[in-house]
Amino acid sequence: MTDDRDRIATALLALRLGVFIVMLMWTLDKLVNPGHAAAVFENFYGLAGVGSAIMTAVGAAELLLVLAFAAGYRKRFSYGAVLILHGVSTLSSYRQYFQPFDNLLFFAAWPMLAACFALYLLRDLDTRFAVER
């Protein structure tokens, strides 16, 4: 039984790190290039006029969240928030799914959403290198 738990913990760590890498890059975009991130918010979320200062603040808050997520800290909150953020991001891109062969990379959001969902459901088993076991 311990061998199964070890394999599950290792698999969940791999999912957590994979999701973290993507979320980290999206977060860094808000901090390094807030103008681009503001354009994304306007195009996909309909939020026009989001300034660089607001985008930087959003990026800073998101950075704290994704670091907590990567560390396995406050899993119910951090895993749940990442699931919700990525779910909103995935669903807000619905127009791209109507032209699938022009927007193939958008479909990569769905397996990542499944990984976020699995991590949230199995958060108590995600113990490898997690702050809270």
Structure token pair of residue 74: 């406050």
DSSP 2-56: HHHHHHHHHHHHHHHHHHHHHHHHHHHHHHH-HHHHHHHHHHHH--TT--HHHHH
For the chain, the domain total comes to 1
| 101, part of any domain | yes
CB 82 within 8 A of CB 65: yes
pTM: 0.93
Classify residue 62: in a domain, yes or no.
yes
- 53-68 confidence digits (pLDDT tens): 999 999 999 999 999 9
d(CA 88, CA 18): 19
Within a domain: 49: yes
- Gyration radius from the chain CA atoms: 16
Query: Do residues 121 and 98 lie in contact, with contact meaning Cβ atoms separated by under 8 Å?
Result: no
**Would residue 87 count as lying in a domain?**
yes
Task: Report the C-alpha gap between 117 and 122 in whole angstroms.
Answer: 9
- The token duo for 99 is 């032209």
Q: What is the model's pLDDT at position 49?
A: 86
Tell whether 131 is covered by a domain: no
Q: Is residue 85 situated within a structural domain?
A: yes
Residue 83 lies in a domain: yes
Report the distance separating Cα 50 and Cα 66, nearest Å: 22
CB-based contact 82:43 (threshold 8 Å): no
Query: Which regions of the chain are under pLDDT 70?
Result: 1, 133
Domain span at residue 119 reads 2-125
For residue 112, the model assigns a pLDDT of: 98
Residue 73 lies in a domain: yes
pLDDT at site 1: 58
